[in-house]
Chain A
Amino acid sequence: MRRALAAVASAVLAAGVLAACAPASEGPRIVVTTNILGDVVETLVGEQVEVATLMQPNADPHSFEISARQAADMEAADLVVANGLGLEEGLLQHVETAADAGVPITLAGDVVEVLEYATEDASGPDPHWWTDPTQMVAVVDALEDAIAEHVDGIDADALADAADDYRGELEALDADLETRFDAIGADRRVLVTNHHVFGYLAERYDFRIVGAVIPGGSTLAAPSASDLDDLAAAIEEAGVPVIFAESSQPDRLIQVLAEEVGVDVRVESLFTESLTEPDGGAGTYLELMQANADRIEAALAP
């Protein structure tokens, strides 16, 4: 199905003649699914056209749904921008409906270098490409082309300038991350984590990812050493006493690890799939990446 959607989008993009006959609309001209892509598109077009981002701050891209009004906006937009690669499950049918209605679709997943994930139970394309900012450069290239082609009346020079500026910021971010992560040292560049989104970051900056199951609240209520053996083994294998984990009770986890298996760790959370509100620490894509880099650097620096 994911492949089918990509094929639809390519076909629509290839047609290329649709913008000319798209009806005028009172609503947003560009509709974007995820808030990470929404931030980037808004940066590119500035105040020129109205951009609607469907995914709210601090939301889950896998499982948000939209209103009938928003679905209608998608079908009336000049351009729809989506992540693809199976990320926005709840929106798939709306993206397909918009494509059927002749709306050009830009899928980030079509232009990034896709990594595959594989577990015992499942495998497929990893949709979390944004943890590598160099992948975002390719997405910006594709967005610049698609906006110029499909959004009527856009100031092409202003768009090109904004895209150049943003590419410059992404390249500076990449260089900064490379320098900072390099300074951590190869033996300490390891993420013990229950996050599943850092495959691209690991590939780009040579991190080792050690998957870990973090005991939940019902386990931590009355734990014994057996509950923590696997996590302790993962920490030992990593050689770095840091867990990058989403835990509802990080302090309790730290305490229990120390009591039951004698392991002293630091627990750090990272931003993953959603921007926050503007003052939440990851209000933009660049802030999200910098915030994660700050936390990784602070936790792993020798």
Chain B
Amino acid sequence: MIPRHRASRRAASALAVAVPALLVLAACTSAPDAESDDDADATPHGFVEGASEHEEPQLGLVGVTAAGDVTMLDLLSEETAAVGEIGAVTHVADDGRFVAATTADGIAIVDSGAWTVEHGDHNHYYRAHPHVAATIEADGPARIASTELVTVVLAEGAGEVVVLDRGDLGQGTTTELGRFDADAVAAVPLGDAILVADASGVRLVDHDGDALTEPTACTDPTDAMQTRVGVAVTCAEGAVLATAADAPLESIPYPAGTDPATVATAIDGRPGRPTVAAVAGDAGLWLLDTRERSWTLVPTQTPLVRVAAVDDADEHVVAIAADGRVLAMDATGAVLGATEPLLADAIASDATPTIDVDASRAYVPVGDGTVLEIDYADGARIARTLEVAGDAVTEVGR
């Protein structure tokens, strides 16, 4: 399988628009010369040309083969569409809408055309035509993360961060808002800033990479993810949490006496929720609650290789056990149900399994061209076995 980073998404935060303290009310400004604005009528109406709003998440699975064939399975209709061909792919990452695939020509950005916008007490769900949106000059494994306004691509090979206008990207236009060098583990947008995690710690920078804050200590950063609360980075001593571009970075240390062999190296969870999960060595799993600023070690009977928090009312956690079973668990580590060891072969071949969770299902690629649709609230029942041609498969539209 192609290695991939899982999605993370952050709520649309309020834009910091400065309102002039003193309006120049006395000035009579002349009307803009609308007549000369010949191109204005060409500007499309609507949020995204061709995008439509829907009453429910437009969930899909994007499959990328090693040869670079991109397809998308609609999880609602079960129809598969060819999206494009991008050439041989060595690595895949996604932000829940855009899929970044590393190719010989650069990092191809595939727009799945399916996305969710959090809006206070409700969400909006959109769908547009999936397409290969852009290829940006950069190499190496990519990470990709977005706000409503910007998409940030970290090219780990080149140690480079590319900041793109997300609205333009959705229209198939690459507008670079910034590009800077960073030998970073993560680069994640947060309001007007970008959180960068590297060997010097965690800091916020602007679109040109200029530091906005002093680095906050974070030894050996390993992963970062957007949660409902902010952006969390995992470090040897715990987590660093950034909640806003202008708020101080916070540290969430591990409990005293934590065995260094158990510290989290990858966090995962349902987009838009505060709690994420991580494998805790052979001891079980960690739950990092970014709202409560707490780590909780949950011992399990079986060592785990991958885990994702659902953070629903029943606090479900979906895990892949070292023996290849998919487990539905609760927050105490109790196993509510398990599949057969369907991922044993994939684990034996040293592939890193992935789990994508949404509000009712989890998706686990088996590695043989099928993806398990797991009903985690019903004892890890396999609701559907879906066929997706892909060496990397990622859920979009969440």
Q: Residues of A at under 8 Å CB distance from B?
A: 1, 4-5, 7-8, 11-12, 15, 17-18, 21-23, 25-27, 56, 59-60, 62-70, 72-73, 75-76, 86, 89-90, 92-93, 96, 99-102, 117-119, 121-124, 196, 213-219, 221-227, 230, 246-248
Contacts and interface: CB of A to CB of B under 8 A. Distances in A.
A224 B381 CA distance: 9
Contact of B32 (A12, A75, A196, A223): A75
Contact of B76 (A89, A213, A248): A248
Given A56-B45, A117-B120, A123-B120, 8 more contacts: A1-B16, A4-B17, A15-B25, A21-B28, A64-B46, A69-B37, A122-B120, A248-B76
Instruction: Name, among B16, B29, B120, B122, the residue most crowded by chain A CB atoms within 10 Å (CB to CB).
Output: B120
B80 to A, nearest CB: 14
A51 to B, nearest CB: 17
Interface stretch (B53-61, B275-283, B300-308): B53-61
B257 interface: no
A11 B54 CA distance: 38
Interface in B30-57: 30-32, 34-35, 37, 39-41, 43-47, 53-57
Interface in B256-306: none
Contacts of A223: 383
B25 A248 contact: no
A69 to B, nearest CB: 4
B2 interface: no
27 contacts: A1-B15, A4-B17, A8-B19, A15-B25, A23-B31, A59-B46, A60-B53, A62-B124, A64-B47, A68-B43, A72-B31, A72-B34, A72-B37, A75-B31, A75-B32, A92-B17, A102-B28, A117-B121, A214-B56, A218-B76, A219-B361, A221-B75, A222-B373, A222-B383, A224-B375, A224-B383, A247-B56
A70 to B, nearest CB: 8
A22 B28 contact: yes
Nearest to B42: A67
B313 to A, nearest CB: 8
A119 to B, nearest CB: 5
A69 B17 contact: no
A25 B361 CA distance: 56
Contact of A217 (B20, B34, B47, B77): B77
A32 B305 CA distance: 55
A189 B32 CA distance: 52
Interface in B342-398: 358-361, 373, 375, 377-378, 381, 383-384
Nearest to B35: A26
B25 A18 contact: yes
Contact of B23 (A11, A76, A246): A11
A219 B12 CA distance: 26
Contacts of B11: 121
